[in-house]
Structure 1
């Protein structure tokens, strides 16, 4: 794409979850229309889309038709099959590039990619059998995390191993699928950097957030993260290096650990080639949110301002906590964002709220 898509153009989004919903709302502010493609009959994003397609991600004909009806295609989750991206790419530009998804979908490929860039990751070993796991554990040390190579998110697809005797049961628990064994990093805090890269290579960064997880699910993010200016610089440098190496277009999030005892030493945990939960605070604390900047980037528009005008804490609303919507809506200095999901299941993200404070 060389010319910016004018207002009235249509953005195609693969995936209909809450991220697709928030992308659609951001696009509407710019006069752009959204066409959602989902394999679910009534996902949250359908409520705010101009057009919708319900079909599987293995339906090449449906994907070609969908891509032929839009001006550019993007994704709201990282596990879109590579074949689906390739099919869509025959009829429309696809951003971010498919390679970014291929790297992020496989934990082993992701770690190899990061190491090739000289970026620190936790010690790791590929695992394909009980014998390989038992052989790798002494070198990685205890405790260690066994993670599926694919389809793990929000704490799913991983198990902690604290002794050699737990190896076989750990592999049983993940179904004996290809896996990665990781050493546990001692860290002061978890942080993430949301960056946006334009088609011409321009890079903008949002402030790093400090993230707290509960049961493997992000519970809250706050900005500014209590880290030094040197650490902020290093975090942005890492995110920019990754984005440039992937010839990335759109918003990318890089999750990192700040090592215990060394304020500027960072270890990358994972890459998310999409808008991200830890960047939701940008909806209210920035002039241009991560969602709008993603739309701007893939549509060829100038990137928007990424500086924050307020400090912020974002908290996820999970499961039955959604019943407390009246409390969240009445809280002072708080904005409420609900995703339109009908069923509040345990561990399911139903919405979030953002509390703003004067910028420090």
Structure 2
């Protein structure tokens, strides 16, 4: 970039996604300024950090005057805060997109309006409505909070209608504040995500579909490109484009999908860079983080093509020994600078290779050295199908 002024991207949230956005922005001559309620937010290790609550209008007013555009590190920023900032500075993606992604009922309704099938679902506001929803949808089913749930939180799985009392005991108190939704359980064959980016000028690109494996609702490993997809890549791209156009979306987002009977079902949309796209840092020509910065600033988008094939280990709770990864060929270590804590995302590692067979060998060697054979086994099975 040229000129004397270095653009500043303001990021609402100071976690690892903000950290990686700041690292991707620096080579473009772009500075970042993050806002977070915690003074030890890990983005503060690589970019200036404003410590403020989302309701601190004075701090947010000063923040707005220091940045050229505002974006999000996570989707649970209050929508009214985003709207308030949008009256003072450009906000991308727009607060309306954030609001839809914050509400599972609005989100799935949008999916269907855009032609993306979903599992059956119904809003649940009372204990009586839970019984009505179970009668209509059947069991097994999952009762979820409409808002604030992520990484498997705010959910209760009902194996039969007889679990209704237990489900209501677990989540019913949140019905009035967060809202609840009952979703039919999907006996899916695969979990996929597509990471997409749309620029200010409407330019739209996607990275290849990513295969994902979760443990206890938290991402454990990702593989890209996901093998043996046939026409699903094109369909997923079309669904993502339809959503982006409907929302007037600017920036990167993730569309999480289930595959059932060879068809795609929409699960969730994340209006931000996403855990399942971390492999793009080393595995694609332009990462999701670089392209998000480009998009929100109105710069041309980078090439989303892959350099080969890549797999990502997600480190949850605490970091393992880095040595086996650092000794690997085309293997990359990411420490988020966060204190270890059960269930917390503290880092990831990405392993790249020119082909599936080489990637499988590299993953197997690292997994054996770390004692992580069980974590990598489903990825090895997928690679064997290539």
TM-score by length of 2: 0.88
8 A Cα contact 1:64 1:90, kept in partner: no
How do 1:275-314 and structure 2 match up within 5 A? 275-314=273-312
Distance 2:221 2:308 in 1: 16
Asked if 1:85 is matched to 2:82, the reply is yes
Secondary structure at the residue paired with 1:171?
helix
8 A Cα contact 1:195 1:251, kept in partner: yes
Deviation for aligned residue 1:175: 4.3
> RMSD over aligned Cα, in angstroms?
1.6
Deviation for aligned residue 1:8: 1.0
Deviation for aligned residue 1:338: 0.8
Secondary structure at the residue paired with 2:100?
helix
Asked if 1:354 is matched to 2:355, the reply is no
Secondary structure at the residue paired with 1:305?
coil
Asked if 1:22 is matched to 2:20, the reply is yes
How do 1:94-173 and structure 2 match up within 5 A? 94-173=91-170
Distance 2:115 2:258 in 1: 16
Aligned match for 2:333, one of 332, 336, 349:
336
Structure 1 residue runs of 4+, over 3 Å off?
4-7
Deviation for aligned residue 1:6: 7.6
Deviations 1:96-130 (A, max 9, x none): 00011100001111111112222201100100111
8 A Cα contact 1:5 1:301, kept in partner: no
8 A Cα contact 1:192 1:278, kept in partner: yes
Stretches of structure 2 lacking an aligned partner (at least 5 in a row): 357-386
8 A Cα contact 2:200 2:298, kept in partner: yes
Cα pair distance change 1:202/1:104, threshold 3 Å: same
Stretches of structure 1 lacking an aligned partner (at least 5 in a row): none
Deviation for aligned residue 1:7: 6.0
Deviation for aligned residue 1:5: 9.5
- The count of corresponding residues between Structure 1 and Structure 2 is 352
Asked if 1:205 is matched to 2:206, the reply is yes
Distance 1:141 1:358 in 2: 46
Asked if 1:232 is matched to 2:230, the reply is no
More helix by share: 2
Deviation for aligned residue 1:332: 3.3
8 A Cα contact 1:129 1:176, kept in partner: no
Deviation for aligned residue 1:324: 1.8
